[in-house]
């Protein structure tokens, strides 16, 4: 009987932990009718609506060089560096998953 209570407690705790990290913010970057730049701006607007600690799941269907630039910029701007960042850059589809830091890092200005 004690073993059953223990298993139920572990099961209950695992569901609670899973629920806390189950917030996912999915974004697609695709070219459909707009330019790739418009698609990227649209993606940034959607990311800005996500909450801190959401898992950003971004899929890009743009050309590989363009996807590399956009995903790198998203990593530097929105991802927490003390959590895992996963990227897959491919000629067909590129993906990024990371934990959202809540607000965008400010853009650095370089002096000439």
Task: Note the pLDDT of residue 110.
Answer: 64
Q: What's the pLDDT score for residue 6?
A: 42
pLDDT the model gives residue 107: 74
**For the chain, counts of helices (H) and of strands (E):** 3, 4
Q: What is the pLDDT of residue 7?
A: 46
Confidence of residue 45 (pLDDT cuts 50, 70, 90): very high
Burial degree of 56 (CB within 10 A; 0-12, 13-18, 19+): buried
- pLDDT of 21 > 80? The answer is no
Q: Degrees (nearest 5) of the Cα angle 42, 77, 19? A: 80
Could you tell me the CA-to-CA distances from 33 to 25, 36, 40, 44 in Å, in that order? 23, 9, 13, 18
84 contacts: CB under 8 Å, gap ≥ 6: 98, 99
């Amino acid at each position: 009987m004690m073993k059953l209570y223990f298993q139920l407690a572990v099961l209950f705790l695992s569901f609670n932990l899973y629920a806390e990290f189950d917030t996912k913010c999915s974004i697609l970057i695709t070219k459909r009718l707009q330019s790739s730049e418009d698609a990227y701006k649209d993606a940034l607007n959607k990311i800005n609506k996500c909450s801190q600690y959401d898992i950003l799941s971004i899929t890009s269907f743009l050309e590989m060089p363009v996807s590399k630039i956009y995903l790198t910029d998203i990593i530097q701007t929105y991802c927490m560096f003390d959590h895992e960042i996963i990227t897959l850059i491919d000629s067909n589809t590129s993906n990024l998953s990371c934990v959202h830091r809540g607000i965008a890092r400010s853009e650095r200005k370089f002096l000439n």
